[in-house]
Amino acid sequence: MKGIDFDWKVKRLELNTNIKPFESEDSDLNDFLTNDAKNYLAQMLAVTYLIETETETIAYFSLLNDNLKRSIQRDLSEEESKIWNRLNRKVPNRKRKGTYPAVKIGRLAVSKKYAGSGFGKFIIQSVTSMYLDNEQKAGCRFITVDAYSSAYGFYEKNGFNFLTDKDIDKSERTMFYDLIAV
Ligand SMILES: CC(C)(COP(=O)(O)OP(=O)(O)OC[C@H]1O[C@@H](n2cnc3c(N)ncnc32)[C@H](O)[C@@H]1OP(=O)(O)O)[C@@H](O)C(=O)NCCC(=O)NCCS
């Protein structure tokens, strides 16, 4: 990690966790950690992981189950057909489907103070290794994210692709990462 010469650790947020101070560039993401992450945990809607030092939160991310679903043939744009053909080519013929199991990065933020140090990349690698674990509890082939436009470059650099051209004008676009074949 660039310029990080102190101890930090990753831990799962629990209902009794003391959340240490955190400030990323995005106030909604700051607010989620402080006010909502435990509610999501209690309702079994998302699990949040913290990266922290003794005194502060460096970054966090939340995960939930998801799926990648292809539209029915007549609704597919030309671009979507190309994306699904590329995606399916990595899956053996007899296992190709219109829906694949996935895990979604519901929220991800790095503190302003530590942006550019490599924690974002570390988080993507951590999610990858969690789901490539030999003891995987349920099938999961892809990571998905509804990415902010300011973060498209970050996700592309880390192996994610856009799923559709239909959200091109939206403020967030769906991106995916193939856990087996990047
Ligand atoms: C986007 C964000 C998660 C990146 O985290 P980070 O820890 O600063 O990123 P890293 O230092 O791990 O960078 C990894 C690589 O991505 C690149 N990168 C980082 N942010 C980028 C961005 N916004 N656009 C393009 N590339 C970016 C880095 O240059 C680096 O490239 P390298 O591997 O060639 O050196 C962080 O800036 C952030 O929390 N932003 C505010 C909240 C946000 O946008 N969250 C995403 C919600 S979908």
| Chain segment 47-83, per-residue pLDDT in tens | 999 999 999 999 999 999 999 999 998 999 999 999 9
Asked whether residue 1 is domain-assigned, the answer is no
Q: State how many domains the chain has.
A: 1
d(CA 178, CA 130): 14
Q: Looking at ligand 1, which atom is closest to the CA of residue 110?
A: 39
Q: What is the mean pLDDT of the chain?
A: 96
Instruction: Give pLDDT tens digits for 109-128.
Output: 999 999 999 999 999 999 99
- Report which residue type is found at 133: D
Is residue 97 in some structural domain?
yes
pLDDT of residue 134: 85
**Three-class DSSP category at 95:** helix
Asked if residue 4 belongs to a domain, the reply is: no
Q: 2 in a domain, yes or no?
A: no
Per the domain annotation, does 3 fall within a domain?
Answer: no
Looking at residues 90-97, what average pLDDT do you find?
92
Ligand 1 site-directed mutation target among 62, 154, 175, most atoms within 8 Å of CB: 154
User: What's the first-to-final CA gap in the chain, in angstroms?
Assistant: 23
Contact status, residue 58 vs residue 51, Cβ threshold 8 Å: yes
Query: What local confidence, expressed as pLDDT, does residue 182 receive?
Result: 57
Residue 74 CA, ligand 1 centroid: distance in Å:
36
For residue 65, what is the domain's CATH number? 3.40.630.30
Burial per residue of 81-96, b for 16 or more beta-carbon CB atoms within 10 angstroms, e otherwise: eebbeebbeeeeeeee
Within-domain flag for 104: yes
Q: Give residue 32 CA to ligand 1 midpoint distance, Å.
A: 19
Is the C-beta atom of 117 inside 6 A of ligand 1? yes
Ligand 1 pocket, residue 22 CB under 6 Å:
no
Residue 46 counted as domain residue:
yes
What is the reported pLDDT for 135?
86
Is the distance from CB of 123 to CB of 145 less than 8 angstroms?
Answer: no
Domain range spanning residue 113? Answer: 9-178
Residues above pLDDT 70, as percent of the chain? 99
Instruction: Identify the weakest region by mean pLDDT among 5-9, 12-16, 20-24, 102-106.
Output: 5-9
Q: Which of 182, 39, 8, 15 is nearest to 106 (CA)?
A: 39
Q: Confirm whether 116 is domain-assigned.
A: yes
